[in-house]
Structure 1
Amino acid sequence: MIRILLQAIAACALLAGCAASQTAVVASDGAVPAQNAREPVTLLISIDGFRPDYLDRGITPHLSALATSGVVADMRSSFPTKTFPNHWTLVTGKRPDNHGIVGNSMEDVARPGEKFTMANKDPFWWNQAEPIWITAEKQGVRTATMFWPGSEVELDGTRPSDWWPFSQALSNDRRVNAVVDWMRRPAATRPQLVTLYFDSVDTAGHFFGPAPSEKLHAAISAVDKNIGTLIEQFAALDQPVNFVITSDHGMAETHPDRVIYLDTILPRDQYRLVVDGNYAGIEPLADDMTTISSAFLKPHENMECWKREDIPARFQYGKNPRVPSIICLPTTGWVVYQDKPEWMTGIGGGHGYDHLHPDMIAFFLASGPGFVGDIKIETFDNVDIYSLLAHLIGVKPNQSDGDLSSFEQALKP
């Protein structure tokens, strides 16, 4: 009798379980969703130095396919149009004046005799703004960075859950493989926000210029192939992904015949040079502004100079004390040096110029379950990317210089 009763209970339990299972997998419209559906992840990709018109050259089939399924736009960089200031803007939503990374090279009166370079990971230089991965980690959202300026720095005792120290020697293929490996993890340790950085297009642009050429196009095509690998591997894992693909700035053609030599303006032993190249930053010796002001603030052919406090408002630059006392901005395509670099022997490329110049406009593409398809939105400022990322990963953003309004037409309800 007991055996019969136990068999009856087991049979009822089995039938109930089957009924519950059927109820769970059949939706109201009759569709049967996957049993282990993954939540979308957000992948922020920087293709350093990628101009919007590179997408129009017929050599980017994977990026072009994403553009058809998603959203494209021209994006205004922040001044100065350099790598570190703009990458920090993209992930903090603040302009260089407000986030403190005012150049690839800079000084701070609180650290006399010290100069910030792109290898510096001291939190002192980075802690004027909080990047999206720190904000996310504080709110319980796991992040991972396969390179990004500042991603190796510990801020408020926090780093991304996974991060790699930057090495230009690490191939783009290996960078992609690391991102895919993160996606193979179980949900509990799988990052919801990932950054990925490609520098090879920028390097080619510097050496060969932005005009069509075999070597530049080879670099562009190689990165497009990397994007294709990501698309294929994410699909194989049934991993939905919101791609947010940007560049930090554009690229302008330079030539060794378009050089402004600083020694023709003032002997180099009468000032301190903070930065030169596509713009120059000048500091006085012994706080004597008279000498450098009389030399640099007068009219110059193909270059204009301002005191920090007199930089035109449209640049939104000059409030931060890390900005050099005098900024000199050449005409786009010209460069300013004490000594012309040895590598500058022919047509090349550069950036750092006026952020509103067409050659300095950056690239934006977004595609995935969070976006509508096949539209181009109005040109926007790169400070808005931070708000977009926060929206996609569901975190409350910190106060920033941008907002989400630029993407109203681009986002699905």
Structure 2
Amino acid sequence: MQSIVTHPAVISPSFICNYKTTILKRIFLFVAVLLLTSTANYAQDTAQLVVEGRKNSATQQSKPYVIMISIDGFRYDYAEKYQAENLLKLSDEGVRAAAMQPSFPTLTFPNHYSMVTGMYPAHHGLVDNLFYDRQRKAVYKVGDRNAVEDGTWYTGMPLWVLAEKQQMLSASYFWVGSESAIQNIRPSYYFKYHEKTAIDQRIQQVVNWLSMPEDQRPHLITFYFPEVDHMGHRYGPDSDSVRNAVQFVDAAIGSMTEAVNKLNLPVNFIVVSDHGMTQADTVKTLSLPDVPVLKPLKVMAGNEKIMLYGNNETDIKAAYDYFKKHENHYTAYLKKGTPERWHYGEEDVYNRIGDIILLAAPGYAFRTSGKKMHPGHHGYDNNFTDMNAIFMAWGPDFKKHMRIPVFENVHVFPLVARILGLDITLPIDGKLEVLEPILNDQD
């Protein structure tokens, strides 16, 4: 059932009214370009969806709140590089990591789901943005809405499912998996993915959620920004377009924080990204040759990583031997020969990883179609520094003026569960002890 919740306005109609005129002009130009160039593949259903009949238990009504914000493609150094004044100021007053290491592969869907499940991709099943499931004999790809909304593709227990099972309401203004009935559960309030709604309206929706009666008010809110990733792909990480996108998101987060603070609730903000971005050669590109050893294999091709699926060991060995012999700006791996630190091929719980993996070297990418190759890329080895993401946090449950070293993104899940007082009910890869020291009640 669809419904739209409305409350008195709390924020100013212009969410960036305090920015200098020159910055305003650049941001508005960026928004105009984004609207013209958006490549979203999904149906544009913009209405809020509400699961009726749920309420916070009396115990959960006394818990704090977490707004978990993801800025897709926001590299670990962008805040300083592009003067993200609000993010720098707010995280200076709270916690900031030197970087957050994404899981392998350094792609959007696997990493967003790792952050909210506390599991590596090979363990939660989203092993790529594009992969083949041998048991289903079906392909999962991010542009296929039927697959994306099918909860049976997703395993583990995302934070909103954990919360709802323990009678704590959740809301999502986009996050990977939030549109799907995972274990037959969606967030109490959610949206199907689209890029049609203006940012001030999206911020107002967060305020509206937090203004609801206590028994209906979500304590976990996820929120997603696509703009930085879009511009990074299209124009490269060193472009003015990325600068404008960073400042656009920075202004929005500043506005959201200001509006939420007026509600006088114990709200904690956690700002993360899924991966970084790097520049790749758009002329000297890599390609799959038309060779006999490739014919019997199923090919799942991304720009930075290609997975090949074979039907027998003979075909797999022949193809691997060929690609290993002809390595040139890429590395060929057998599934069981991937680096242990990836927690990948040997740990493929759902048998979704290819028998052979071709991974491009940083600075290079596979041309998988006749379309123009964009300069910005991610998906490489997660040890490559440019793939590093961000972690920033502030609010009543976080220590102030704290800097922490690089850590893996699977540790975010137990941190959020700890703040919300939720019991983790299944095995995960993340460890609470990694981030617990940043909490106020820890010495």
Q: TM-score range by the shorter chain?
A: 0.7 to 0.9
Task: Write out aligned runs for 1:122-137 (5 A).
Answer: 122-126=150-154, 128-137=155-164
TM-aligned CA deviation for residue 408 of structure 1: 3.7
Q: Which residue of 2 aligns with 1:164?
A: 191
Task: Write out aligned runs for 1:277-356 (5 A).
Answer: 277-284=303-310, 288-318=315-345, 319-320=347-348, 321-339=351-369, 341-344=370-373, 348-356=375-383
Segments of 5+ residues of structure 2 without an aligned counterpart are 1-60
- Asked whether 1:108 is paired with 2:138, we answer no
Q: Which residue of 2 aligns with 1:369?
A: 396
* Counterparts of 1:276 and 1:152, CA distance in 2: 24
**Maintained 8 Å contact 1:63/1:224:** yes
Q: Which residue of 1 aligns with 2:427?
A: 399
* Counterparts of 1:323 and 1:129, CA distance in 2: 17
* Counterparts of 2:213 and 2:285, CA distance in 1: 55
Matched residue type, 1:412: N
Given the superposition, is the C-alpha separation of residues 148 and 266 from structure 1 closer, same or farther in structure 2, using an over 3 Å criterion?
Answer: farther
- Give the 3-state SS of the residue equivalent to 1:52 in structure 2: coil
Matched residue type, 2:357: I
Which deviates more from structure 2 when the two are superposed, residues 169-178 or residues 316-325?
169-178
**Maintained 8 Å contact 1:144/1:191:** yes
* Counterparts of 2:311 and 2:276, CA distance in 1: 34
Matched residue type, 1:304: T
Given the superposition, is the C-alpha separation of residues 82 and 65 from structure 1 closer, same or farther in structure 2, using an over 3 Å criterion?
Answer: same
- Give the 3-state SS of the residue equivalent to 1:130 in structure 2: coil
RMSD: 1.9
Deviations 1:247-287 (Å, cap 9, x if unpaired)? 00111111212411111666764532112211111123677
Which deviates more from structure 2 when the two are superposed, residues 283-292 or residues 312-321?
283-292
- Give the 3-state SS of the residue equivalent to 2:87 in structure 1: helix
Matched residue type, 2:303: G
* Counterparts of 1:312 and 1:286, CA distance in 2: 23
Normalised by the size of structure 2, how large is the TM-score? 0.80
- Give the 3-state SS of the residue equivalent to 1:101 in structure 2: coil
**Maintained 8 Å contact 1:265/1:296:** no
Segments of 5+ residues of structure 1 without an aligned counterpart are 1-36
- Asked whether 1:235 is paired with 2:261, we answer yes
TM-aligned CA deviation for residue 171 of structure 1: 3.5
- Asked whether 1:206 is paired with 2:236, we answer no
- Give the 3-state SS of the residue equivalent to 2:119 in structure 1: coil
Deviations 1:350-379 (Å, cap 9, x if unpaired)? 110000110011100010000111121011
* Counterparts of 1:186 and 1:351, CA distance in 2: 42
**Maintained 8 Å contact 1:258/1:333:** no
TM-aligned CA deviation for residue 384 of structure 1: 0.2
- Identity across the alignment (%): 34
Given the superposition, is the C-alpha separation of residues 155 and 270 from structure 1 closer, same or farther in structure 2, using an over 3 Å criterion?
Answer: closer
Q: Which residue of 1 aligns with 2:102?
A: 77
- Give the 3-state SS of the residue equivalent to 1:195 in structure 2: strand
Matched residue type, 1:69: E
**Maintained 8 Å contact 1:147/1:165:** yes
- Asked whether 1:40 is paired with 2:67, we answer no
- Give the 3-state SS of the residue equivalent to 1:262 in structure 2: coil
- Asked whether 1:146 is paired with 2:173, we answer yes
Normalised by the size of structure 1, how large is the TM-score? 0.85
**Maintained 8 Å contact 2:173/2:221:** yes
Given the superposition, is the C-alpha separation of residues 294 and 325 from structure 1 closer, same or farther in structure 2, using an over 3 Å criterion?
Answer: same
**Maintained 8 Å contact 1:234/1:240:** no
- Asked whether 1:252 is paired with 2:278, we answer yes
- Give the 3-state SS of the residue equivalent to 1:337 in structure 2: coil
- Asked whether 1:53 is paired with 2:77, we answer yes
**Maintained 8 Å contact 1:46/1:247:** yes
- Give the 3-state SS of the residue equivalent to 1:107 in structure 2: strand
Matched residue type, 1:79: F
* Counterparts of 2:240 and 2:367, CA distance in 1: 29
Question: Which of these residues, 74, 81, 88, is aligned with residue 113 of structure 2?
Answer: 88
Given the superposition, is the C-alpha separation of residues 266 and 54 from structure 1 closer, same or farther in structure 2, using an over 3 Å criterion?
Answer: farther
Matched residue type, 1:88: Y
Q: Which residue of 1 aligns with 2:36?
A: none
Find the structure with the greater CA-based Rg.
1
**Maintained 8 Å contact 1:45/1:196:** yes
Q: Which residue of 2 aligns with 1:226?
A: 252
- Give the 3-state SS of the residue equivalent to 1:46 in structure 2: strand
- Give the 3-state SS of the residue equivalent to 1:370 in structure 2: coil
Given the superposition, is the C-alpha separation of residues 172 and 255 from structure 1 closer, same or farther in structure 2, using an over 3 Å criterion?
Answer: farther
- Give the number of equivalent residue pairs: 371
Given the superposition, is the C-alpha separation of residues 266 and 80 from structure 1 closer, same or farther in structure 2, using an over 3 Å criterion?
Answer: farther
